[in-house]
Structure 1
Amino acid sequence: MRGVAPDEKLFLMSDQTQSGTPAPLTVTVGQYLATRLVQLGAHHVFGLPGDFNLSLLDQMATVEGFHWVGSTNELNAAYAADGYARVRRGLGALVTTFGVGELSAINGVAGSYSEDVPVVQITGMPTTGARAAGTHLHHTLIDGDYDHFLRAYREVTVSATVVKAQTATRDIDAALMTALRESKPVYLGIPSDVATLPVHAANLRTPLVAASSDRNELERFTAMLAETVARHDQVTMLVGSQVHRCSLEAIVRQIADHDGVYIASQNMSKAVLDESHPASLGTYMGAFTRVDEARAAVDDAPLLVLAGTVMSDFLTGFFTQRFDEDAAIELGLTTARIADTTFYGVRLEDSLRALHVVLGQTPRAEVLPVGHPSVAVAAAPLAGEPLDQEFFWAAIQGWLRPGTTVIADAGTSFYGALDLVLPDESDLLGQAVWSSIGYTIPATLGACLAQPKRRSVLFVGDGAAQLTVQELATILHRGFTPVIFLLNNDGYTVERKIQSPSAVYQDITPWDWTLIPAAFGAADRVVTASVGSQDELAEALALAHENTEKAVLIEVRLPEMDSPRLLTVLTEGIAAAAAKR
């Protein structure tokens, strides 16, 4: 079968094409993969071309609904695919070339693994013959071993496969199903000769679906859950990021509407329930929870349900949670547990639905709203008064609008954003566990593509931005209009707060941030401002609301050692722990 020219679009969703003519009996491996991604909602695929993936990309580009998003480097492509997957609650995908490309992306894929994000890393590889012969090609280590990087990816994915000609469709489907089932990244290596081989298209008539729960196990779990819940007048649920990954926010809202229920979130799932809801406890972080009553409602809950949670240091306030995990009901991605009984094959979406049904079967008293954190309101701005973190975040609190995707980079930005009470129908996107600085600028690209009608607001530090700011060019040239707050505090403030604040390694080179868009050839697509005083910030915030047809980049000049409240207490804890070692 000849390869389809890149300008010929292939549509394979049913037995017939849109024109009514029969769909092809065969497609190429590249077309098969692209069609599966489109069927699963991953219409945008990020990456860079390289000689070993060109044939693959030529085939993928022929599929209707497939959109290529060229990134400025492979690490940014991995971050963008991750952000895309998080915001659209589904798969993200990237394509790299063998060796140099895939190794550049591996940090981003590792972050997806750490934080349960289903990303498909697709690598275009040398031909099957070259691999078998161990030919000394470029992008290899010149030792005849073509599996070095495959082995590396096995450490940061749940499935790492080199697609074979004889089993190509099975290899692809199995990998994609694994990503969906486990909510983790997978790796597909596709030799350039395999990418253009014909395979049967019949399987494409039936889109892949996520695995279902084991019916018997789900029935056993539901019965025991009903007995347990019936014994308690109050239930508190702590919600983790895996609820977001499975797009289960609506079920959480239904559970919150039952009497006798409180809902708290971990910081990676902040605002999974609108923080104005009477049942909301806000964000739980152990000893660093802002409201004592909210912490007590979790730690001292008569019945605690852990839904899709992760018990890492930053999510538990450095393990200062007081509740007993073993005594809690635990609802995981693929298992559920009540006391010492584990129910295998019970998926999170089904266990949450079971909880919703069970709560409706037993009457209980309405809970009293727990005091929410006080909403900081910025004082009237003073002309010429220098900015600090406290005033900045108080001003942002009053400026944010409902329905906003708030994106915050690791460090000052993330922990400042965590203390905000987000307006209704808003989300917080960040990397609380992997905490790779620079993640958020490419992730903003992914978020904008995933939800193009929703405006993103990005907070990123100067040190973090210097890693990945190139992807701002892609954002601007694609016509997206986020508001970007570049927090310039002359270096790595988080590390300064932990240890050796004056060390030379804490410094970064100074940039003129407001000139960056012009250097990217996009000065006409963005409004810029640089602010260092309270009145300048107020003017810039008004400017951002007024300019909705363009992106807005605001450099916020802040004191070097100043930090938001939550970051201050966290870094003090880290420094104290380090001093004891």
Structure 2
Amino acid sequence: MAESLEPTPVVTTTVGRYLATRLVQLGCRHLFGLPGDFNLNLLDEMLAAGDGAGGDIVWMGSANELNAAYAADGYARVGRTVGALVTTYGVGELSAVNGIAGAYAEDVPIVHIAGLPSRASIRSGARLHHTLLDGDFLHFVRMFAEVTAAQAVLDGEDAAAEIDRVLETMLATSKPVYLGVPLDVARAGVDASRLATPLARPASDPDAVAAFAEALRARVERMDRLTVLAGPGVHRRGLEEGVARLAETAGVRIASQVGSKAILDETHPASLGTYLGRNTLDPRSQAVVDDAGVLVMIGTVFSDFTTGFFSHRYEPAHAIELALDHARIGPAVYPAVRLQDGLAALQDAVADLAFALTADVPPAEPLETPRDDSAPLDHAALWAVLQEWIDGPAGAGGTTLIAEAGTAFYGALDLTLPARSDLLGQPVWSSIGYTLPAAWGAALARRDRRPVLVIGDGSAQLTVQELGRLLDQPNAPVVLLLDNDGYTVERKIQSPDAVYQDIPRWDWNALPAALGARAARVHEAATPGELRGALAEAGDRSTSHFVRVRLGRDDAPRLLVALAAGIAEANARA
């Protein structure tokens, strides 16, 4: 009698657990957000996903959804991974939309997961709380379609396939995506066998790579030097080591864009620092980029802030460009040549020609050390003292410097960052308040580096609710609160004495303990000497430190003064 063959049983899991497992597979082990009645099933399932995913995903509850989005953004940028947040329908997800839009503008991969009402409620148009009472439950999905690369509202039958489709789009585009999970779908069963096949970014077209490499070699062999402008795409693809290897070739000079500072150790002989058009701090570096015979742009973005309000003199259309999803040599475009393969082709082309290249990298000009430690503190002294500290033992273990849009960010661009350092900012979207929650995300993503946040008082008042969570991190964050009595960057642009430039005066020294960071050390600095002393104490990594830095209302870093003049001029023309 023939032996009966029984079908192999299908191993199932729930939608929530499947999604959590996929996130962990992609390197995301922290989930930001807030609970709400429409996402509780989802949260219970996601947080129950176990060791089959290679480890659990950890919940990081935030004070509000905007902060959660910012934290997920910082987590993804610094960790070179993906970020994730969970919100509830309507009121929760709309609070996060600004953070998701910023991630879209700056190519940060985040999955925004919204807990929706049940499928029955959606189909019947039930008049539920958090809705607009019009029976249309897809208003907010359509809103997010404007600021995400892919969207899906999951149904039970094809939920696993839809999750994979949306996450693969996130990987391919390096942009945020949206998943709506109805209340009843979170616990619906799906086939778990798909989890055995990891998700990955799409590969390059081998024929396109070969054609590009051949044309690139023909173009490069006619050059006697190579000037590179590296942008944020290098960070998004984790290709910093590739750029560093390129810098070892004789005659290669590398400048970074705003938003991609410290792609290369800025003490390296090939480093040109940060390029910002006519506002570049070292004019010799500006000349090297603008006068390059052929400029090579790697992962760059083109905007008013990255070009010094379009004061650049190089012509992007004539450049060699390595973008996230294509390569270009002048007008010739090579689709489906991914950034990592374009960079590898460039390394190969240059390596054979290194003997023909010449090096003429200008040396960096150091910041001037303050001469009077008892004088009122200004930005020139602030950044010089911070440079000393980062160069010393305090920065030896690696630093993530997080600088808020405005005075902090454009002061930080004046620093020379050593190896194992990173600068986190948001130069394109430039949403004030971004960096405080983003610093929390960055602290979680890179435990091996110490977070140092520099943020103005006006910006901090937007998102200060996460200060306690940030200062409670074990890698002993340092927060420099620039207390300059309002919106200094806006004062530099227009109407410095207008009432709308003022903010309430807070008791900043009392805030860390009030927000839960009772063990944090609190310091105050109004002179270079006091700041140097506070930072010396902050060298103690057994606890976190909060430094209130008192500055003049109208004082600003030299780069911001120049940029603000450009904005004012543009506004006047408009």
TM range (shorter): over 0.9
Q: Is the 8 A contact 1:389 1:558 kept in 2?
A: yes
**1:380–1:105 distance in 2 versus 1, CA, 3 Å:** same
State the shift of 1:579 in Å.
2.5
Q: Is the 8 A contact 1:306 1:331 kept in 2?
A: yes
Work out which of the residue numbers 378, 391, 397 in structure 1 matches 2:387: 397
Q: String of CA shifts for 1:135-161, please: whole Å, max 9, x gaps.
A: 010000111111111011000000111
SS in 2 for 1:286: coil
Q: String of CA shifts for 1:45-90, please: whole Å, max 9, x gaps.
A: 1000000000000000111321111111100000000000001111
CA distance in 2, matches of 1:209, 1:514: 47
CA distance in 1, matches of 2:373, 2:313: 43
Q: Is the 8 A contact 1:83 1:447 kept in 2?
A: yes
CA distance in 1, matches of 2:12, 2:62: 31
CA distance in 2, matches of 1:423, 1:250: 15
Instruction: State the match for 1:464 in structure 2.
Output: 459
1:352 is aligned to 2:353 = no
CA distance in 2, matches of 1:395, 1:249: 28
Instruction: State the match for 1:535 in structure 2.
Output: 529
CA distance in 1, matches of 2:573, 2:510: 45
CA distance in 2, matches of 1:354, 1:68: 41
Work out which of the residue numbers 204, 209, 225 in structure 2 matches 1:234: 225
State the shift of 1:382 in Å.
2.9
Q: Is the 8 A contact 1:307 1:332 kept in 2?
A: yes
Instruction: State the match for 1:550 in structure 2.
Output: 543
Q: Aligned letter for 1:396?
A: L
Q: Aligned letter for 2:381?
A: F
**Aligned CA-pair RMSD:** 1.4
Instruction: State the match for 1:48 in structure 2.
Output: 34
Work out which of the residue numbers 21, 33, 36 in structure 1 matches 2:22: 36
State the shift of 1:272 in Å.
0.4
Work out which of the residue numbers 563, 567, 572 in structure 2 matches 1:574: 567
Q: String of CA shifts for 1:217-270, please: whole Å, max 9, x gaps.
A: 111111111111111111111100011000000110111111221111101111
CA distance in 1, matches of 2:273, 2:363: 7
**1:463–1:189 distance in 2 versus 1, CA, 3 Å:** same
State the shift of 1:366 in Å.
4.7
State the shift of 1:367 in Å.
3.3
Work out which of the residue numbers 93, 110, 121 in structure 1 matches 2:101: 110
Q: Is the 8 A contact 2:204 2:337 kept in 1?
A: yes
Q: Is the 8 A contact 2:250 2:359 kept in 1?
A: no
Instruction: State the match for 1:59 in structure 2.
Output: 45
SS in 2 for 1:505: helix
Q: Is the 8 A contact 1:279 1:367 kept in 2?
A: no
Q: Is the 8 A contact 1:270 1:427 kept in 2?
A: yes
Work out which of the residue numbers 494, 514, 518 in structure 2 matches 1:519: 514
Q: Is the 8 A contact 1:484 1:554 kept in 2?
A: yes
Tell me the TM-score normalized by structure 1.
0.94
Q: Is the 8 A contact 2:224 2:358 kept in 1?
A: no
CA distance in 1, matches of 2:528, 2:469: 31
Q: Aligned letter for 1:532?
A: A
SS in 1 for 2:522: strand
Q: Is the 8 A contact 1:278 1:369 kept in 2?
A: no
Instruction: State the match for 1:430 in structure 2.
Output: 425
Q: Is the 8 A contact 1:183 1:245 kept in 2?
A: yes
Q: Which 10-residue stretch deviates more, 257-266 or 308-317?
A: 257-266
Structure 2 residue runs without a partner (length 5+): 1-7, 51-55
CA distance in 1, matches of 2:558, 2:85: 37
CA distance in 2, matches of 1:485, 1:450: 21
**1:368–1:219 distance in 2 versus 1, CA, 3 Å:** closer
CA distance in 2, matches of 1:125, 1:81: 20
State the shift of 1:206 in Å.
1.8
State the shift of 1:479 in Å.
3.9
State the shift of 1:535 in Å.
2.3
Work out which of the residue numbers 61, 68, 72 in structure 2 matches 1:77: 68
Work out which of the residue numbers 475, 482, 507 in structure 2 matches 1:487: 482
SS in 2 for 1:158: coil
1:510 is aligned to 2:512 = no
Q: Is the 8 A contact 2:110 2:177 kept in 1?
A: yes
SS in 2 for 1:390: helix
Q: String of CA shifts for 1:167-201, please: whole Å, max 9, x gaps.
A: 10110001111101000000000001111001010
Q: Aligned letter for 1:392?
A: L
Q: Is the 8 A contact 2:276 2:308 kept in 1?
A: yes
Q: Aligned letter for 1:424?
A: A
Q: Aligned letter for 2:114?
A: T
Tell me the TM-score normalized by structure 2.
0.95
CA distance in 1, matches of 2:144, 2:499: 34
Identity %: 53
Q: Aligned letter for 1:319?
A: F
**Match runs of 1:46-445 below 5 Å:** 46-64=32-50, 65-383=56-374, 385-400=375-390, 401-402=395-396, 403-445=398-440
State the shift of 1:365 in Å.
3.7
State the shift of 1:574 in Å.
1.4
State the shift of 1:360 in Å.
1.3
SS in 2 for 1:470: helix
Q: String of CA shifts for 1:355-399, please: whole Å, max 9, x gaps.
A: 11111122434533422331114235433x211111111111111
CA distance in 2, matches of 1:96, 1:124: 6
CA distance in 2, matches of 1:89, 1:160: 22
CA distance in 1, matches of 2:14, 2:330: 50
Work out which of the residue numbers 535, 554, 573 in structure 2 matches 1:561: 554
SS in 2 for 1:85: helix
State the shift of 1:23 in Å.
11
CA distance in 1, matches of 2:31, 2:363: 40
Instruction: State the match for 1:18 in structure 2.
Output: none
Q: Is the 8 A contact 1:234 1:364 kept in 2?
A: no
Aligned residues: 557
SS in 2 for 1:562: coil
Q: Which 10-residue stretch deviates more, 416-425 or 428-437?
A: 416-425
CA distance in 2, matches of 1:159, 1:360: 39
CA distance in 2, matches of 1:67, 1:540: 34
